[in-house]
Structure 1
């Protein structure tokens, strides 16, 4: 997939490490926003490495390239761009979504990027830097035999969903409005939930809209995505409540890659311009 940005960013990190020349990582002659590369006073970056946790099983945001242990995806590219802007290397830890906040909290890594919607409940535990805006989508069997057009149509249906996601919360709220409750079937990963729809175990899968669209596109015609994006909300880079300096450094680096055009280029590489931060 987008190898151009991956190669470009790697070269930027090398240039920064060798010469500390911030301008080497920018596309323009202005050198970008110098604040986006300032890591002084950030304890988590003293060793020159940004340690990132992610559930790498959620294409197109994070996934492993087929037959490899190399992570890829929109989130991965954005994290690498932020690390390059900060002038540090990056390391990824693959961890299940349901355990990712507890692992961040105990210090297994320093920042999470894992297609995580910012919610009030999560914000009580960790702090966030918003970076894109995404809604929920519904995957159904080809032909949409149940005529599902929105979340209300899931009442009385069996819906497959990944554990720990905002989609579980949405379905539980909807259940209070249903005459016949949704049968919510929870799986450890979204690919397994999608497969349950493909094999007839569930009537629909409920996941983030770009993921739903990707799953339908890769199903060889077995599945389709309902053309309705439900409740768009921001995704966030997550950090510990105590990591105030890191939070600010990430926010500055993100703004720098927005300003210098790298952010827009990465979204375009994944055909996801529609999820740009609003």
Structure 2
């Protein structure tokens, strides 16, 4: 499955017009003058990962470009995904930069600024009899996922409200610390399939194409990815929004999206997918 490359104007910030009118690029709310310190789980290829002992991937390059137009630099601190929100709340970093999906539950405890549209895919072992195309086919099967992801709640709801209510066996969900650990569990037959971000799934196939396949055929649970900001830190949030408006007009922004074949949110996407906590 391929996500389409963006052809229209990448980021529709009109939705934030009222906020932009009052925003400024003051760096006083950031922990270090002239620097954006971000928490990022460096195990999530192609978004963020370590390459030759240096952070790499779309989110790393994206934040570097965004920081540049804001007149700042970016530093990413490697932090496991389940600890990102608590680390943000404790002041370990200014923002989260880890392909975090924007959900109503997350927006109850942190603020979030959208910068990408995404969703999930299903991975299966190549040649295995079990090749699920939709989550509804998970009933009665062992499914692996990285912990603390937004789709786990959706799968638990599906298990109770679809599988069990229709007389089927519930979904047996196994959570792992990282996405690569989940893939290894699937290859070891500890789980029968894996659900993960669509771009991550493509990356796994690129690396292990002779062993795994994307069995789903459409994007599952479309969602917005966003930067996380400590609740009430409007100065940092507004600075990111203003920076995104500027960055979205640069050729570097368009080139980065095309490089990764990623899709930025339109005004319609934001209106439809931005949750109300």
TM-score interval (norm. to shorter): 0.7 to 0.9
Q: Residue 146 of structure 1 corresponds to which residue in structure 2?
A: 130
Q: Residue 238 of structure 2 corresponds to which residue in structure 1?
A: 248
The structural deviation recorded for 1:228 is 2.1
1:237 aligns with 2:237: no
The structural deviation recorded for 1:138 is 0.4
Distance in 2 between residues matched to 1:71 and 1:160, nearest whole Å: 26
Q: Residue 197 of structure 1 corresponds to which residue in structure 2?
A: 186
Distance in 1 between residues matched to 2:32 and 2:210, nearest whole Å: 49
State how many pairs are aligned. 239
Give me the TM-score of the superposition, normalised by structure 2. Answer: 0.82
Residue 277 of structure 1: which of 248, 259, 265 is its match? 265
Higher relative contact order (CA 8 A, sep 6+): 2
Distance in 1 between residues matched to 2:257 and 2:28, nearest whole Å: 28
Q: Residue 73 of structure 2 corresponds to which residue in structure 1?
A: 89
Deviating beyond 4 angstroms after TM superposition, the runs of 4 or more aligned structure 1 residues are none
Q: Residue 35 of structure 2 corresponds to which residue in structure 1?
A: 49
Distance in 1 between residues matched to 2:31 and 2:246, nearest whole Å: 18
1:209 aligns with 2:193: no
Distance in 2 between residues matched to 1:248 and 1:39, nearest whole Å: 8
The 8 Å contact of residues 39 and 45 in structure 1, kept in 2 or not, is answered as no
CA offset digits 1:24-57 (Å, max 9, x no partner) = xxxxxxxxxxx9x953264216611110110110
Q: CA RMSD of the aligned region, Å?
A: 1.7
The structural deviation recorded for 1:144 is 5.0
CA offset digits 1:87-123 (Å, max 9, x no partner) = 1121111001001000000100001111111001000
The structural deviation recorded for 1:237 is 0.5
The 8 Å contact of residues 110 and 231 in structure 2, kept in 1 or not, is answered as yes
Q: Residue 149 of structure 2 corresponds to which residue in structure 1?
A: 165
The 8 Å contact of residues 52 and 92 in structure 1, kept in 2 or not, is answered as yes
Label 1:259 to 1:78 Cα distance change in 2 as closer, same or farther (>3 A). same
Matches within 5 A, 1:15-54: 39-40=25-26, 42-44=28-30, 47-54=33-40
Residue 171 of structure 2: which of 169, 182, 187 is its match? 182
The 8 Å contact of residues 26 and 239 in structure 2, kept in 1 or not, is answered as no
Secondary structure of the structure 2 residue equivalent to 1:116 = strand
Q: Residue 85 of structure 2 corresponds to which residue in structure 1?
A: 101
The 8 Å contact of residues 56 and 94 in structure 1, kept in 2 or not, is answered as yes
CA offset digits 1:168-207 (Å, max 9, x no partner) = 1121111111111111011000100011111211110111
Distance in 1 between residues matched to 2:24 and 2:234, nearest whole Å: 14
